[in-house]
Structures are given as C-alpha cells and as structure tokens.
Amino acid sequence: MDVKEFYYDLPEELIAQDPLENRSASRLMVLDKSSGNIKHQIFSEITEFLQPGDCLVINNTKVIPARLYGSREDTNAKIELLLLKRKTDNIWETLVKPGKKAKIGTKIIFGDGLLKGEIIDIAEEGNRLIRFAYDGIFEEILDKLGQMPLPPYITHPLTDKNRYQTVYAKYDGSAAAPTAGLHFTPELLQKIKEMGVAIAEVTLHVGLGTFRPVKENDILKHHMHSEFFQIDETAADIINAAKENGNRVIAVGTTSTRTLEAAADENGFLSAKSGWTEIFIYPGYTFKVIDGLITNFHLPESTLLMLVSALAQKEHVLNAYEEAIRKRYRFFSFGDAMLII
C-alpha cells in the first residue's frame, strides 16, 4: 500500500493556530462510514448523534510541559529538549536539538541550575537518554521550567497551558495531547451522561511516534513507536457491558482507539490490562471493539489518517477531507472535529 494514496493538498491557512474560546463551538463533520454521506454540525450538537446505551471511551492522559530549553555546561551553547518517555525516576528518553551537540557525556543546565542533565546513552533513531539531577520534586520543577510541546505546525504562542489539555486529563505522561478530546466541556460531558451514554476512561500516554511522518513508500514497512496504555477493571466492565447489550462503542480519538484495539481479545472484549503497544491500524484492519470515532482532521500521509481510513473507507475519508477544505474547516490539533459512525 503506497503512502501517496493518503496524500491530500491542504492550504496552509486552514491549519488552526489557536484554540477557539469555547471548546465545543468548533465545527463537526459527521461522516457515515458505510455510505460516505456527510453532515455539517457544531460540536456541541454531537448529542444528536449519540444514543442511550452508547459507550464513549476517553483518554485521560495529561500532557506534561515536556519542552525544555537549556545550555551546555562547557560551551553555553543553547540546547532544546523534548521529554518522550520516562525510563526510571531520573532517566528520560528525549529528543535533542541540535543533535550534533548532544554526545554522550554532555552536561546541560536548565533554569540557572534548578535542573541539570547528562546524556548517558543514544537510543533508537538518535534519541538521547538523559539522567537528571535536581533538588525537590521533578514534576514541580518541570512545571516551572517546561513549556507545552505544541506541534511544529502551530507557530502562535499558547497563552493558557490548559487549552492543550482535555478537561478530563488526569495522569501525567504525554508528549502530545489526545486532541479529539479538546472539544469537550464539563457541561457537554454532563449532558451526554444524562442522556444515558456511558463514559469509560482509559489511559494512553501519547508519544511523538504516533505523529512522525511515514517515510517509507510502502506503509507496511513503517515502524510504530511503542506507547504505554492502561485499562482498569471499571473501564473494561463498562465497555464490555455496552458490547454485550449490542450498543455502540465510540472512541474519542485515535489514541483511545489504539488502546482498545491493542488490549481486546479476539472477540473484542477487554479485561484490566496495562502494557506497551505498537499497533498500526491501516485499511484492511478489522476493528474488534469500536463502532464509531470522534477525531480531528489529520496530516496528509500520516498513520492517523490511515487509521481513520481503515474505519470509514479511504475513498469516503479523502472525499470528506476535500469537502472540509472546500467548506474552510480548521485542521489539525486546534482544528475542527469529525464524527464517524
């Protein structure tokens, strides 16, 4: 399967640079996965497409302020760091810029010495393992020194850190937001619950691997990076009950989708589980758990666009994207949403 099959041409001005003042005021494209029919709505109207008994699955991961700016101890040269995965209490796998200045043994100072790091190893794809030294609590220091790791296509500064966080974020660990969830407000979630829709919370800490471009022409040669997930017994019971009763399971975001599909047994049922997943979903995949998906509009030739195309047929999805461009939808992390049912 050729990566070029997932290309579309997006005008740069349609890349959303700022979140809307009201989270649920974004536009919502509703795509019928069987027919390809499209409806245009506002996100707060999503309740019109949910039914009592449905189960909505949300990813309660929390984005950490993972971008750090420091300088080499010996030359004072500037270095930028992005925290990717915590390996032990004080050792992290990181992305370092510029990589040429980041040899093993390099020492880096952050925030006038509030935090210090030393590169101790080189991991796959040139990522660096860094051992940090500090006095106090790492999370508090990170909150002081770190910045939210906005994607490179967002060039405007973020004035409120919480706008790159879902309202239900609980557990620190992500290097990027599960952006489909950014459209929900507490009021909208409450309204959905009152309709008789069950809400199950799972956790997948989003790494940059999900968003890395597919560099292989043949997508089957692309390697997904592993991400940590966790499903507790309560969430498994809620999702299993919906399936047993013949009700729909609708994932909020590609991260929730990957968590469910990676953890389910061959019949689509779940048990309490945690671990690492490298699941790569592309057209031809048979979904075991989900019946519907709430998602944003994704980058051309990305694994996220491939996942969406597996659920709703590539032709339907690319046609919907063309329609979104014609209708001037806002794209990517702070952009508008799509509901596939």
Q: What is the pLDDT of residues 27-74, one digit of tens each?
A: 999 999 999 999 999 999 999 999 999 999 999 999 999 999 999 999
Report whether 186 contacts 167 (CB < 8 A): yes
Q: Assign 171 to helix, strand or coil.
A: strand
Residue 246: pLDDT over 80: yes
Residue 212: pLDDT over 80: no
Tracing tokens 């032709």 back to the chain, one arrives at 315
pLDDT at 99: 86
Query: DSSP assignment, residue 302?
Result: -
Residue 244: pLDDT over 80: yes
Residue 164: pLDDT over 80: yes
pLDDT at 43: 98
pLDDT at 52: 98
Residues in the chain: 341
List pLDDT tens digits, range 95-140.
999 988 789 999 999 999 999 999 999 987 889 999 999 999 999 9
List pLDDT tens digits, range 166-201.
999 999 999 999 999 999 999 999 999 999 999 999
Report whether 293 contacts 28 (CB < 8 A): no
Report whether 241 contacts 283 (CB < 8 A): no
237, with CB counted inside 10 A (0-12, 13-18, 19+), is middle
DSSP characters over 218-273: BGGG--PPPEEEEE-HHHHHHHHHHHHTT--EEEESHHHHHHHHHH--TTS---SE
Report whether 169 contacts 28 (CB < 8 A): no
pLDDT at 211: 63
284, with CB counted inside 10 A (0-12, 13-18, 19+), is exposed
What angle in degrees, to the nearest 10, is found between the helix axes of 314-326 and 303-312?
110
320 confidence band (pLDDT: 50, 70, 90): very high
Report whether 194 contacts 169 (CB < 8 A): no
Tracing tokens 């909208």 back to the chain, one arrives at 188
Mean pLDDT of 306-317: 98
Residues above pLDDT 70, as percent of the chain:
99
Residue 8: pLDDT over 80: yes
Q: What is the mean pLDDT of the chain?
A: 95
Q: Which residue has the higher pLDDT, 211 or 16?
A: 16
Say whether pTM exceeds 0.75: yes
pLDDT at 210: 66
User: For residue 36, what are the CA distances in angstroms to 4, 321, 323, 336?
Assistant: 21, 11, 12, 19
Q: Which residue has the higher pLDDT, 86 or 251?
A: 251
- CA gap 90, 117 in Å, rounded: 9
89 confidence band (pLDDT: 50, 70, 90): confident
Mean pLDDT of 254-280: 97
Mean pLDDT of 220-232: 92
